[in-house]
Amino acid sequence: MELYELNLHFLLEGLKAKKFSASEIFQSCKRRIDECEGNIHAFITRTDDKEPQTENADGILAGIPTVLKDNLCTKGIRTTAASKILGNWRPPYDATAWKYLREAGAVLMGKVNMDEFAMGNTCGNSAFGPTYNPNDITRVPGGSSGGSAAAVSAGYVPFALGSDTGGSIRQPASFCGVQGLKPTYGMVSRYGLISYGSSLDQIGPFARTVRDLQIIMSVIAKHDPMDSSCFREKNPDFSHKDKVSIKGKRVALVKEFQDFTLDAPIADAMTRTRKILEDEGAIIVEVSLPVVARYAVACYYALAMSEAHTNLERYDGVRYGYTVTDASGVKEMFERVRSYGFGSEVKSRIIAGTCLTEPSRCDEYYVAATKVRTLIAQEFTRAFGETDFILQPVTPSLPSKIGEVDDDEMKGYETDLYTLPVNLAGLPGLSFFTGYAGNLPVGLQLIGPRWSDPELLNAGLILEAHLGTPKIANGGKN
């Protein structure tokens, strides 16, 4: 077995026992990237041209390679958010989540592809071209954190960081066949994350096992005074426990989602997972989320586009990023910079956000959406008064073909409805691997109440013990 095939906790155990060195891990991962990157196109910027010296040989992640979604700032290393408008911008500071990983000894192999400014669900809305699913390169890896999920799935690195604004960790984790955690809003510092929707964005990890997610969360889930939304209590306990139980826990299915059509492999996975939970002593119940079912999608887009409109105003070609020097005036410069620099999807969301927040419409749309968001959060709070976790799909279908347009508008609505409410309510959501349908992985989602991230991962350990862990994807090789 090659070292790149080992999961994070096995690599750490091997390093501790001196079965192999950090240099051997680095070289194995680098060879794997060289072997498969021509097919997958996960990277925007590679930083593995020179083997680094591990900064902290005693750190928990000493010598372990990783990659970052390219909306996480890295001091002195190009950071683009997959957009032309940032050009070759090199931040003067590190994102806090990356700083914590670096201080723990992690080695950065590069910055990976995403939908531009995290706006999309295919990893195809990028100024640098699409990323391909390493399990089947004719299919999308999901988005917007598709490069991070693809890199872990293909064996480039044992773990990666992404961000989730409306499903951008959970959906690509499901599509690529890895484990992915969208933490509680405020569990991981957002400092240094290039914003899309500031009240919705959350940084989180991808890995091939739930135990590995626990290791990464133990490093990055710490209070950061640079982020006022970050929790201030004692650091949560993400330590691995050999014996965990879900006996007596109440796991809910959402009443309003039961009539939605699922692809057969996803429906089968729901049935199998429900039986596993019952066999482990969990009690399956039903909860009703009528406000979520009726209003969540409209509420989300009103808020996300309004926040995007505000956050992306800063890209003006004056202070950093792409600019023009031959404009006749400031107005022409702004127009040319933003017209060239932003892709069509980003432009459409900026325009929509501008309309939603202009004075004559603000109360009707943006303010109304903030009130509905409160109702959605309250509805989840009531639901979690009756249950411990909610089980549901991540998406109703398997990953689509590259370039394929789904004409089924209802299926698109259902896809959003499974993921967006978690962000609106600031909840943690675990996308977990359940097996394969042919060569395509199938994932489901377990949701918990706010701040239940450690308990959610413990439940994931139980499911993983029955469902298994994903294999390394073939990376487009025959």
**Residues marked as catalytic:** 69, 144, 168
List own/partner pairs for 365-372 with CB under 8 A and 24 or more apart: 365/302, 365/306, 366/302, 366/303, 366/306, 368/302, 369/298, 369/299, 369/302, 369/303, 369/306, 370/303, 372/291, 372/295, 372/299
List Cα–Cα distances, 378 to 296, 382, 424, in angstroms.
Answer: 13, 6, 11
Q: Which of 42, 299, 18 is nearest to 157 (CA)?
A: 42
Q: Which tokens in the block code for residue 269?
A: 């996975």
As a residue count, the chain comes to 478
List Cα–Cα distances, 140 to 10, 122, 131, in angstroms.
Answer: 29, 6, 7
Cα–Cα distance between 328 and 344 in angstroms, integer? 25
Our CA dihedral for 341, 137, 397, 158, rounded to 10 degrees, sits at -90
Q: Which tokens in the block code for residue 308?
A: 């995007």
Q: Is the peptide bond before 144 cis (omega within 30 degrees of 0)?
A: yes
List Cα–Cα distances, 200 to 144, 185, 335, in angstroms.
Answer: 14, 7, 28
Cα–Cα distance between 19 and 388 in angstroms, integer? 41
